């Protein structure tokens, strides 16, 4: 065992000894320092003295891809962490953070779950906030009364989503693309699974996945390396020992073309089309990222935005995007149109997908995209919380630590031929699943 001196006392002493503040070079990307604690917790640290704040993020391989036979289990576990821990009630936990001006949050997606804390770096404030964070993550009580409340809340949210055409289209498309793969499991669960989840399921999920070998810590803010090491040491020894989650199975590389029509009362029809894309770390990422910016990721000035809104007056908004994940995440195109013009909109979408794939971008489009992406990139790093988000992504997906340093160079290196070749390898407009949600044609014409 390590020292019995309370962590808050140890950390406050370390802060008061103080190291000189770090100085970031104007225009430079943050330096990411990485180490593993003696207890096996991987740590990623960025020093930033822009504000007297510290952002901590614990990321666990505990997303809905780990739900198994109980869709919604990962999200319910994440939501329940702050509903009681170590004998403290949800109200006690909330007041403890609020009294120190700290912000605590949890989130859960398909790949991972995150627990985040933002606190002032004042010794007493930060040390006590970390103590509360540690209790919430390592010793949740999952009280039965809170479980029943959370179950009701998630059921209400699920029923509301079933009346939302966009949410319905998302759920149907993920299931159509991924079939038996864990990515098909809806993070919000189903009526049946939410009713079936019991406290023992939450305890077992937490015991299996919220362990230090299955997680990582990101620390960003105004503190020294030694101070960050003290936080990481405390969290590392407080989290239970366990094992990393096994790698996910390979996702489907392609799907058969399919059109799924779902009738719902609505003023317009939601169109959501997609196919499996690629996994994080793919060599073609930057070419696909630039190409998609030109296709539909650049808003109203993208090809799809101009074709759908300006040229045809079909839609006020359209977007496209790749979503790289631990396994191959999807490529999706989304818009919403007047129902009697659905077929016309589908034709425009397919024509533009074929064009970017077959011909690539023209020189002016490519130049505009490169300038916009690289010019706006620093805005993505203008706060500790944004940096923490980037670093957590880099860490979870095992991307190079110099990813932020090399980002603009790798974007600027993309050529029109790169875009064309990457889209030809990763995108087939003739093998898309298209989900249409809205009124039927007869209702729309009346």
Query: What pLDDT score does 16 carry?
Result: 36
CB burial of residue 333 (10 Å; 0-12, 13-18, 19+): buried
Is the residue at 244 inside a domain?
no
Q: How many domains does the chain have?
A: 2
Is the residue at 11 inside a domain?
yes
Return the DSSP state at 193.
H
Query: What pLDDT score does 444 carry?
Result: 52
Query: What pLDDT score does 380 carry?
Result: 86
Q: What is the distance between the alpha carbons of residues 436 and 438, in angstroms, rounded to a whole number?
A: 7
Which tokens belong to 144?
């039965």
CB 129 within 8 A of CB 102: yes
Torsion of CA 174, 275, 326, 68, to 10 degrees: 30
Which tokens belong to 139?
């010793």
Is the residue at 248 inside a domain?
no
Residue 227 sits in a domain of what CATH number?
3.30.830.10
Residue 262 and residue 234 share a domain? no
Residue 204 and residue 340 share a domain? no
Burial 75-93 (b: 16+ CB within 10 A, else e): bbbbbbbbbbbeebebeeb
Domain-terminating residue out of 210, 238, 266:
238
Can you give the residue range of the structural domain that contains 34?
7-238
- Radius of gyration of the chain, Cα coordinates, nearest whole angstrom: 24
Q: What is the 3-state secondary structure (H, E, C) of 200-228?
A: HHHHHHHHHHCCHHHEEEEEEECCCHHHH
Is the residue at 321 inside a domain?
yes
pTM over 0.85: yes
Residue 211 Ramachandran class (φ > 0 left, ψ -120 to 50 alpha, else beta): beta
Residue 86 and residue 185 share a domain? yes
pLDDT in tens, 366-422: 999 999 999 999 988 888 999 999 999 999 999 999 999 999 999 999 999 999 999
Residue 110 and residue 169 share a domain? yes
**Alpha-helical runs (H) found in 318-402:** 342-359, 363-376, 384-396
Residue 177 and residue 93 share a domain? yes
Residue 271 and residue 199 share a domain? no
Query: What pLDDT score does 12 carry?
Result: 38
Is the residue at 251 inside a domain?
no
Residue 151 and residue 20 share a domain? yes
Is the residue at 129 inside a domain?
yes
Residue 303 and residue 338 share a domain? yes
Residue 290 and residue 204 share a domain? no
CB burial of residue 139 (10 Å; 0-12, 13-18, 19+): middle
pLDDT tens, residue order, the chain (446 aa)? 333 334 443 343 333 333 333 333 334 678 999 999 999 999 999 999 888 999 999 999 999 999 999 999 999 999 999 999 999 999 999 999 999 999 999 999 999 999 999 999 998 899 999 999 999 999 999 999 999 999 999 999 999 999 999 999 999 999 999 999 999 999 999 999 999 999 999 999 999 999 999 999 999 999 999 999 999 999 999 999 999 999 999 999 889 999 999 999 988 999 999 999 999 999 999 999 999 999 999 888 899 999 999 999 999 899 999 999 999 999 999 999 999 999 999 999 999 999 999 999 999 999 999 999 999 999 888 889 999 999 999 999 999 999 999 999 999 999 999 999 999 999 999 999 999 999 986 655 54
Nearest of 72, 56, 71 to residue 105 by alpha carbon: 56
Residue 390 and residue 351 share a domain? yes
Residue 276 and residue 225 share a domain? no
Is the residue at 250 inside a domain?
no
Residue 274 and residue 172 share a domain? no
Query: What pLDDT score does 7 carry?
Result: 44
pLDDT in tens, 134-184: 999 999 999 999 999 999 999 999 999 999 999 999 999 999 999 999 999
Is the residue at 246 inside a domain?
no
Sequence-distant (≥ 6) Cβ neighbours of residue 332 within 8 angstroms: 173, 272, 273, 274, 320, 321, 323
Integer angstrom CA distances of residue 363 from 345, 366, 422: 27, 5, 17
């Amino acid at each position: 065992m390590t020292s019995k001196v309370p962590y808050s006392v140890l950390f406050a002493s370390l802060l008061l000894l103080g190291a000189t503040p770090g100085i970031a070079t104007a225009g430079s990307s943050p330096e990411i320092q990485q180490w593993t604690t003696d207890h096996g917790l991987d740590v990623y640290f960025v020093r930033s003295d822009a504000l007297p704040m510290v952002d901590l993020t614990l990321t666990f391989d505990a997303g809905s891809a780990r739900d198994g036979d109980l869709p919604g289990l990962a999200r319910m576990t994440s939501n329940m962490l702050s509903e009681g821990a170590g004998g403290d009630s949800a109200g006690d936990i909330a007041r403890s953070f609020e009294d120190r001006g700290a912000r605590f949050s949890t989130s859960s997606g398909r790949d991972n779950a995150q627990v985040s804390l933002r606190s002032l770096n004042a010794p007493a404030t930060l040390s006590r906030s970390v103590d509360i964070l540690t209790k919430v993550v390592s010793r949740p009580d999952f009280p039965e009364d809170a479980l029943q409340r959370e179950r009701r809340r998630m059921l209400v949210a699920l029923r509301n989503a079933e009346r939302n055409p966009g949410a319905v289209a998302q759920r149907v498309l993920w299931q159509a693309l991924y079939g038996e793969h864990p990515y098909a499991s809806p993070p919000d669960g189903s009526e049946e699974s939410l009713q079936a989840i019991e406290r023992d399921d939450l305890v077992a999920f937490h015991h299996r996945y919220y362990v230090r070998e299955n997680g990582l810590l990101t620390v960003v803010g105004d503190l020294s390396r030694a101070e960050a090491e003290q936080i990481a040491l405390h969290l590392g020894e407080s989290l239970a020992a366990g094992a990393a989650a096994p790698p996910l199975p390979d996702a489907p590389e392609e799907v058969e073309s399919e059109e799924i029509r779902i009738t719902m009362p609505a003023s317009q029809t939601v169109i959501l089309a997609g196919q499996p894309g690629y996994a994080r770390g793919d060599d073609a990422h930057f070419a696909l990222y630039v190409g998609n910016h030109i296709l539909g990721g650049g808003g109203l000035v993208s090809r799809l935005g101009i074709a759908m809104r300006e040229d045809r007056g079909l839609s006020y908004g359209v977007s496209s995007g790749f979503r790289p994940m631990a396994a191959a995440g999807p490529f999706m195109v989304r818009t919403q149109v007047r129902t009697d013009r659905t077929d016309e909109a589908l034709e425009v979408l397919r024509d533009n997908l074929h064009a970017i794939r077959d011909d690539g971008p023209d020189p002016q489009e490519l130049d505009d995209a490169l300038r916009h992406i690289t010019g706006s990139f620093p805005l993505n790093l203008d706060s500790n919380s944004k940096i923490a988000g980037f670093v957590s992504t880099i860490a979870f997906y095992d991307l190079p630590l110099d990813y932020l340093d090399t980002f603009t160079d790798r974007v600027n290196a993309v050529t029109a031929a790169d875009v064309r070749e990457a889209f030809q390898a990763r995108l087939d407009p003739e093998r898309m699943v298209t989900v249409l949600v809205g009124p039927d044609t007869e209702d729309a014409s009346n």
